[in-house]
Chains A and B, each alone.
Chain A
Amino acid sequence: MARTSKSSRKSVQSKAEEICQYMLSTLEKGQRPILEAVRCNLDNSIYDPSVGYFVPGDKVVKSELNVSSVQKLARTVFMLEILLNNINTGATNTKRELYYMAKGLVKSDPSLKPIDFDGQPESDSVIEFITDMLEVYREELNCFADDRGGQSYSQNLIVTETMNDGEKATIDLSKLGTAPFQPKNQPTALKLKAKGKIDFCLIVESQGTANTLVTRGFTKRNNCILMGAKGVPSNGVRGWCKLIQDQLKIPMYFFGDLDAYTMQNIFRTLKAGSAASLIRNKDFSAPDVKFLGILPEDIKEYDLNSYKVKEKDASEVRALKKARDVLSNDPFFKDKKNKKLAAILNFLVKNKIRCEQQALFSVNPKDPLMPEKIILDKIKNKVFI
């Protein structure tokens, strides 16, 4: 039992208390409590084409109380108490800080010694089990990862942030010069407003390249939001993109390398979420984002520099190997809604080539606006997927 229903809008506190009550009363009866958590892996990921992201299937991880699991359950209750205390006092923490808090509590109470964590991975896995069990976001437990990636530039965007103490701050991105706005890892606290009409949002894989475009005046010439993803999009980036998609309802484009890694790890995660965050994909993926490039046909069209995947480059070879696997197993690429994206992956597996986003800079290097022109050209002519 003890699986809190998905639809219930109960507070985290009451869900947690419910579970503890259940465990205690089951123990009183001399029976074994069983905790269930959503199984967060690809096996249990269903791609729902109607919403465009991964939703959890009905497989669960069951932890029945026995000698082997008693340690895990004791740790779970211990960590739950720390987290609830944070929620009640409005304090937030990173996972690392929680690890140290747990260490501190154990130090101050010798009877807790047996559950001491031997390194952060141990406490992280307890926190993950709790989120999967309560079916809440880590952020709802006031536990935040650091804000990584998603630096944004715009002349037309105003963000209002509600801070933990309830106070509000308003940020006008046009006032930041060439400095970026760093989105918080807490999308629920942000409200977006467009100043005038915003035509599109461009998410560039490389934060550095996004920066270059801004410096060359991209956001001055275009009514847009320009963002750097910085590799595999963090929760912060994914939540931020989802906010833009939902609150501003503007076309969104992703521009990155043409290679297997970008397609299956970066773009897919941005668009449909990940298996590890199954229960949060609803708010942490932006299914409307289009793949602007680099597309295979762009190589010919713009005579871009591409090269063969080097047999010796282990990470590239690994990415290709994974691509083959992904094509036959990943529900996202198997769905016919994404067959054009799967076709690109197929093309990469077959031809074993790569083309990097920065290859745009090889087209007429004397014209500093060339990359921008190509991007706008592609948007205008609808050359995206």
Chain B
Amino acid sequence: MANKITSSSTAEYFAKNLQQVGFSSPTKAVLTTLKEAVDNSLDACEDNMILPELSIQIERLGKGGSKNSDLIQIIIEDNGPGLSAENLPRVFGEYLASSKFGRGRCSRGQQGIGISAATTWAQLTHASGVRVKSKTASMKKAVEMYIDVDIKGNKGLVKKKETLEWDKKTGLQVEFKFDGRIQLNGDGGLLTYLEGTTLVNPHLTLKYKMPDKEWVEVERVSTEVPVVPPSVLPHPHTMKLGEFVTHAGLFGRTSLKIFLKTGFSRITDHSLKLLVKNGMKKAWLNKAMTQFDDKELKQIFAFLIDADLSSPSTKSVLTVGEDSLAKSIQRLGEVDFFSVVTRKPKICDFKPTVVEVALARFIDRGEEDKSVQLLRFANRVPLQFDKSSCAITRAIESVNWKSYGLKQSKNSIPQGPYIFAVSVTSPFIKFKNASKETIDASEELVDEIRLALQKAGQKLSRHIKKEAKAEDLERKIRHIEKFGPILVNGLVSMTKASQARKKRAEDGLSKILGIDTEVAIAELEVAEEKLKSLKVKQAEKLGES
């Protein structure tokens, strides 16, 4: 476990600033607690090559202690590796905050504070922290603990401890009771979050129960556990000055030379020579990091920014994959048609990044005249708030969806019964703010997302075009039946023509218009043919052929 600094003020800081980490309202508190626990379970399973099986139960127990809130109970259980008894208080009762810069991995958890914040919230609103039950492979019986955060000392306080039978090989179960409010649908809704999580985790089997609702079970559609590549060190060009200074602070008495070579990727002896050649004092290389003042750190940072370093490697990113996405999207409803695109990893703003897109039209959800439902993901974590300034939203708005046959008013989200899911994966995702809800909309990233969307849009348009052609044919047939007789009758009446002429004209007209419909039918057939070959490819993805 990453645990480089554990300052006693950390817990105090977070206890006072819980809104910064997602506990800014009763509604968000429920979502954040759920999200922190689910993210952890999924990460733990992935790290141990376990196919995750999660069960989530949310109940409303009564009125909450604060205004406009209910007393909520959340129980989340996984089949992950479990945690040992001595680790439980540390994970659930201690803020483990390591480098603010994250871990350099595409894991969901990045900071080591998530779940302890949930404990703190429960403690502050309901006077008791978390109940955890855990069983690791080496334990015969499960251990159950009630843990609080010791806010002054930033330590986990074990209130009660028991061992008990649990008919599970390994796993972990957490229960929180706290003040919250339940919102199921829409942006920030619990079901919206679970749907998003389902979509980008094809290997997940999920059972959940919402208050006053039946249990729902969603089966996995893939039996492959995604392999999260090992962490990579940050690339100097991805950093801001502030991040660089914090990063430096973690290295204490190490020399600058060692700090640069072990704290970053792509810094070699050759690069160090380059720094000196560009004017950095050679003596600095052996000076301890603690001996640099801010001004000097700033200078070092400037030399690094100017240095010609090779781009970071793209090996550290992982993808869900087109095949799995194609299967997974079928779990969200009855799909009419869809298209998925996984781009190759690319360096955006010096960070290895991969963009994946799934667009699907549904039969049983969404509306023609409403905006499409947008699902955004950063490292496979659904983003729920502040969508307007997010790189993903920007990219969607910048595409001309009309050219793919969708409805859209200029520079806005298109309309129709669709889900647009866009996932950005990178070991160093840059968020706009601390609550990690919006991806910073840098030009390079927006461009990359746009390319993925356009490719998906092209595939989608084959379906839409076929539909349009079918509609066209129907309209043509209707047109002929409706207007043909009126035209002939009008002409006959104007010319006072005989019935025989009328009959001949009618025959002539149906012959002409018949040719037109034949053309329309042929066009429809071509469109259907094209679509068929696309569907064959998609079926292969779904493993149906």
> Is B467 an interface residue, CB under 8 A from the partner?
no
Q: Which residues of B contact A66 (CB under 8 A)?
A: 512-513, 516
Please determine whether B494 and A80 come into contact, CB atoms closer than 8 angstroms.
Answer: yes
Nearest Cβ in chain A — how far from B493, in angstroms?
7
Please determine whether B485 and A111 come into contact, CB atoms closer than 8 angstroms.
Answer: yes
Against B, the Cβ 8 Å flags (1 = close, 0 = not) of A339-368 are 000000000000000000000000000000
Partner of B494, one of A71, A81, A115: A81
The residue in chain B whose Cβ has the minimal distance to the Cβ of A72 is B483
Q: Which size bracket describes the interface of A in this complex? A: 20 to 34
Q: Which residues of B contact A297 (CB under 8 A)?
A: none
Please determine whether A30 and B493 come into contact, CB atoms closer than 8 angstroms.
Answer: no
Q: Which residues of B contact A23 (CB under 8 A)?
A: 491
Please determine whether B494 and A74 come into contact, CB atoms closer than 8 angstroms.
Answer: no
Q: Which residues of A contact B507 (CB under 8 A)?
A: 30
Count of A-B contacts judged by CB separation below 8 Å: 87
CA distance in complex: A74, B486 (Å): 6
CA distance in complex: A68, B516 (Å): 9
> Is B508 an interface residue, CB under 8 A from the partner?
yes
In the complex with contacts A66-B516, A70-B480, A30-B511 CB distance below 8 A: yes
> Is A306 an interface residue, CB under 8 A from the partner?
no
Q: Is the interface of B mostly helix, strand, loop or mixed?
A: helix
Q: Which residues of B contact A16 (CB under 8 A)?
A: 494
Partner of B486, one of A20, A80, A114: A114
Nearest Cβ in chain B — how far from A99, in angstroms?
18
Please determine whether B517 and A115 come into contact, CB atoms closer than 8 angstroms.
Answer: no
Please determine whether B486 and A112 come into contact, CB atoms closer than 8 angstroms.
Answer: yes
Within 8 A of B (CB), among A6-51: 16-17, 20-21, 23-24, 26-32
Please determine whether B501 and A24 come into contact, CB atoms closer than 8 angstroms.
Answer: yes
Specify which of A21, A24, A32, A78 lies most central, judged by the most chain B CB atoms within 10 Å of its CB: A24
Against B, the Cβ 8 Å flags (1 = close, 0 = not) of A116-139 are 000000000000000000000000
Q: Which size bracket describes the interface of B in this complex? A: 20 to 34
Specify which of A20, A84, A112 lies most central, judged by the most chain B CB atoms within 10 Å of its CB: A20
> Is A1 an interface residue, CB under 8 A from the partner?
no
In the complex with contacts A27-B509, A30-B512, A114-B486, A71-B491 CB distance below 8 A: no
Q: Which residues of A contact B480 (CB under 8 A)?
A: 67, 70
> Is A158 an interface residue, CB under 8 A from the partner?
no
Partner of A78, one of B482, B490, B513: B490
In the complex with contacts A67-B479, A80-B494, A84-B494, A73-B504 CB distance below 8 A: no
The residue in chain A whose Cβ has the minimal distance to the Cβ of B511 is A30
Please determine whether A70 and B483 come into contact, CB atoms closer than 8 angstroms.
Answer: yes
Partner of A31, one of B486, B495, B508: B508
> Is A319 an interface residue, CB under 8 A from the partner?
no
Nearest Cβ in chain A — how far from B241, in angstroms?
44
Q: Is the interface of A mostly helix, strand, loop or mixed?
A: helix
> Is B484 an interface residue, CB under 8 A from the partner?
yes
CA distance in complex: A66, B489 (Å): 17
Specify which of A30, A31, A70 lies most central, judged by the most chain B CB atoms within 10 Å of its CB: A70
Specify which of A16, A23, A81 lies most central, judged by the most chain B CB atoms within 10 Å of its CB: A23
Please determine whether B497 and A24 come into contact, CB atoms closer than 8 angstroms.
Answer: yes
Please determine whether A71 and B508 come into contact, CB atoms closer than 8 angstroms.
Answer: no
Against A, the Cβ 8 Å flags (1 = close, 0 = not) of B498-515 are 000100110111011100
CA distance in complex: A30, B507 (Å): 7
CA distance in complex: A361, B513 (Å): 67
Q: Which residues of A contact B482 (CB under 8 A)?
A: 71, 114
> Is A198 an interface residue, CB under 8 A from the partner?
no
In the complex with contacts A27-B488, A67-B480, A74-B483, A20-B494 CB distance below 8 A: yes
Against A, the Cβ 8 Å flags (1 = close, 0 = not) of B284-300 are 00000000000000000
Please determine whether A67 and B486 come into contact, CB atoms closer than 8 angstroms.
Answer: no
Nearest Cβ in chain B — how far from A70, in angstroms?
4
Please determine whether B494 and A28 come into contact, CB atoms closer than 8 angstroms.
Answer: no
The residue in chain A whose Cβ has the minimal distance to the Cβ of B502 is A24
Please determine whether B513 and A77 come into contact, CB atoms closer than 8 angstroms.
Answer: no
> Is B470 an interface residue, CB under 8 A from the partner?
no
In the complex with contacts A31-B512, A32-B512, A71-B479 CB distance below 8 A: yes
Nearest Cβ in chain A — how far from B353, in angstroms?
45
Please determine whether A24 and B513 come into contact, CB atoms closer than 8 angstroms.
Answer: no
Please determine whether A29 and B486 come into contact, CB atoms closer than 8 angstroms.
Answer: no
CA distance in complex: A64, B517 (Å): 16
Instruction: List 10 A-B pairs, Cβ < 8 Å.
Output: A20-B490, A24-B495, A28-B504, A65-B512, A67-B516, A71-B482, A73-B483, A81-B490, A111-B485, A115-B486
* Known pairs A24-B501, A81-B493, A115-B486 / 15 extra A-B pairs, C-beta < 8 Å: A20-B494, A20-B495, A24-B492, A28-B505, A31-B508, A68-B479, A70-B479, A70-B480, A71-B483, A73-B487, A77-B491, A81-B494, A111-B486, A112-B486, A114-B482
| Shortest 7 CB-CB contacts between residues of A and residues of B | A77-B490, A114-B482, A30-B508, A74-B487, A27-B505, A20-B494, A28-B504
